[in-house]
Chains A and B, each alone.
Chain A
Amino acid sequence: MTDSENRPPIYDALRHLELDNAALRLKLARHEFRQMERELKAEHPFKLDVHATGEPVPAKIVIPETKDVMLPRLPVPMGSIHAEDTATDLPVIGVHDDGLTGSNLAAALMGLMNTQYQSPFARLIFLCSSFEAVPFLGRYGFAFEQIGAAEPATVLGRLNRRYGATQIRSLGTGAVIAEFREP
């Protein structure tokens, strides 16, 4: 008798289900990525048509770093373009938007998302200097932090404590802006 003959039928059914689920997750991730591509290649990405009489106010408040060492680390999602919800073996990296807006921001995001979709290398926290990309990043299930005009390196301590981030890189160039070192 082979192994498969020894196994109860439910085992095979569950195995099939698991494989089907995995295939479905991959298909869904591919669908999400295609949808994301379309959005980023649109004529006016991130455009908000708002009829408002006030002057737009940029993000000013930066959350201070907490001294409470007992707080648990929070997870960093992979985004819906990835078949796995979490990939805890990948490092957590903050990606600063370099103050880019509109189609420049979209092009830089496209480059990064393409790499991340093909061969994911990190769990990403997007550091946004404006609110422009917030609906987009939220829709695709990414973590983001609004930092306004703050120097990105100054928020790394908080990102490390909150998410376990180890470095901050530039969205445009990929260069390392700051590296976390234990105090």
Chain B
Amino acid sequence: MTAPHRWLTDTSDPLPQLIADHPKFAGREELIAFSQTAALIHWPTIETYTGKVSIILRRVGREDETEWRNHLALLQQLLKQSGKNIDFLALNDDAATALSDEMGQTVTAMPALPREFRGDRALTLSRINGPLQLVRDHSDALPARQYNLARLRRLAVMETDGTDADLADVVQFANGVPEGERPHPKKAPVIFVIVPNGFGLGHVTRMLAVARHLKARCGARVIFWSFSRGVGIISQFGFEAVSRQTARHIGAEADAWRKWETEEFAAVLRELKPDLVVQDSAALEDFVVDALARPDVGAARLALIRRGMWQKHILGTNLLASENLADMVVEPGDLAAPADRGITRGRATKTTAFAGIEVSAPVTLTQPAELLDRKRARKALRLGRGRYCLISLGGDAFSDWGHLVRHLIDAAEKARVQLVWARSPLAAPNPDIDGNPKIMTRSFYPLAPYLAAFDGVVSSAGYNSFHELMQLYDGPVLFAPRQHSALDDQAARARFAASQGWAMHAEAAQNDDRSISSFMNDVRASKKAASRPQWRDGAAEISDALAGLIKAGNSPL
């Protein structure tokens, strides 16, 4: 943990996190030493400081009693020699009395923090094995350095194992004292959304859907910390964004990059003190967790949005460990969930360190009211009369699906259907496609509002495309799932849709073009799908849950 400049502290001490949360101390210009030991280590700084100095004296903690007494005696001696005027503080009345007796001078109890948590959830802190840990009944203890006590005190009442007087004082201070019902401040919440650099725009799209609701329903100021190059799209949707590059983007060593990302994310947190940080990815990034554990960054809640349908070869529990760091884990619902073979399947029945894992309805950025009718959609895309089939396979999919595209071109020609290639807004023009007279190219985002322009769609089976097509489109769909190891199990999703009669499914190794001809005939006939699932607003459900997390505690979906 890095503390503000005028705070003299030991990096493993959780107290600065609480002092930063204290209305009477946060932002004060005085020099504060957070313990007698920190004061001794930094004594030259204290001695030369010309402004006000306070030292928070602590009762016996991890050290033995003799060492504790020696430190206090040495501090007294230094004070006597320097004649420096210093305020001595303690964490509560009992500690103040005990330390006054020991020091032979006045030690004042610090004003208590107001209580922030009013439920019955309890967390036990312990230093019995050395470093501070969160003790759990049925699982291993968690290292407390990953958490900010200012955040934990909003999640639960804290307890200790009673072996450490100083820790008991810290915990009592963290819990605070009940005050009268305080009016909830009427300020709009500030929310940071972390979006990783995915293969396409999946993370950005899902979080834009949630962010729109957060802005509309609770006036939130939503800021994207984006590693995606789709940052311009975020801006066009009316959200602030900070454009970042990953270690891989600039060829940096992961550790050096992480240090910078932690430092700079913490610097922005320090300025904006957000109410919530939410990340859409498989696991929380280390830099997010580390920055949030800094003592002066506020007490933002932390949520993880993690879609399911992981590929079945991804095993082990390491990637799931960040469940324990989040206050809330939400899985955006997947219509193909019965076919989920990944390790996140069934996690919704588990409980993390603090919160259950919730599953929402499927999330789509586009809502039914935003769909353009056929005439407007075709006009916007500069498409004339005739039959059109959209091909949306993702950025560099031409090389993966070259044979499929060739089959499609032949079948489309026979069925007198015009193919329209959807080029990702992030992709460079592709000479293989742009130079092909049999394919038109259009680049637009998002695709869903324009779907009525098309008599059929060939698409990859990524989360967003899949749910837009299955809930917001009624024409024939042929799924051509991508099978990159870093992506979700698109093949399972596509197979499931085929088994339900919602769509057709093309295999990567498929040489049989009869199913493609059959699909293209359906496109020619403008055939409508028999029945597909009704649209549900998963983005609104997630947004409500996040808003509830900011306000009070966990708000189940």
Contact = CB atoms under 8 A, between A and B. Distances in A.
Contact of A63 (B250, B264, B425): B264
Given A51-B446, A67-B5, A72-B256, A57 B240 contact: yes
Nearest to B443: A49
Contact of A132 (B212, B232, B242, B442): B232
A48 interface: yes
A31 B230 CA distance: 24
Given A51-B445, A66-B264, A135 B230 contact: yes
A143 B425 contact: no
A76 B2 contact: no
Given A56-B238, A59-B242, A77 B250 contact: yes
A50 B446 CA distance: 7
Contacts of B259: 71-72
A9 interface: no
The 6 closest A-B CB pairs, nearest first, are A54-B238, A131-B232, A49-B444, A146-B243, A138-B229, A72-B256
A39 interface: yes
A154 interface: no
Interface of B: 2, 5, 212, 223, 229-233, 235-243, 245, 249-253, 256-257, 259-260, 263-264, 267-268, 271, 370, 380, 425-426, 428-429, 442-446, 449-450
Interface secondary structure of A, over-half rule: loop
Contacts of B251: 75, 77, 85-86
Interface residues of A, number: 45
Contacts of A76: 250
B45 to A, nearest CB: 15
Nearest to A76: B250
A75 B237 contact: no
Contact of B232 (A77, A86, A134, A139): A134
A66 B271 CA distance: 13
A143 B251 CA distance: 10
15 contacts: A35-B428, A39-B429, A49-B443, A49-B444, A50-B445, A51-B445, A54-B239, A57-B239, A72-B253, A74-B256, A74-B260, A128-B243, A135-B230, A138-B229, A144-B243
Contact of A55 (B2, B238, B429, B443): B238
Contact of B450 (A51, A52, A134, A139): A51
Contacts of B257: 74
B426 A135 contact: yes
B252 A49 contact: no
B2 A68 contact: yes
Given A48-B232, A77-B251, A146-B242, A61 B425 contact: no
A131 B231 contact: yes
Given A49-B445, A64-B267, 7 more contacts: A38-B429, A48-B443, A50-B237, A51-B450, A63-B268, A131-B232, A132-B232
A42 B271 CA distance: 41
A52 B442 CA distance: 17
B252 A57 contact: no
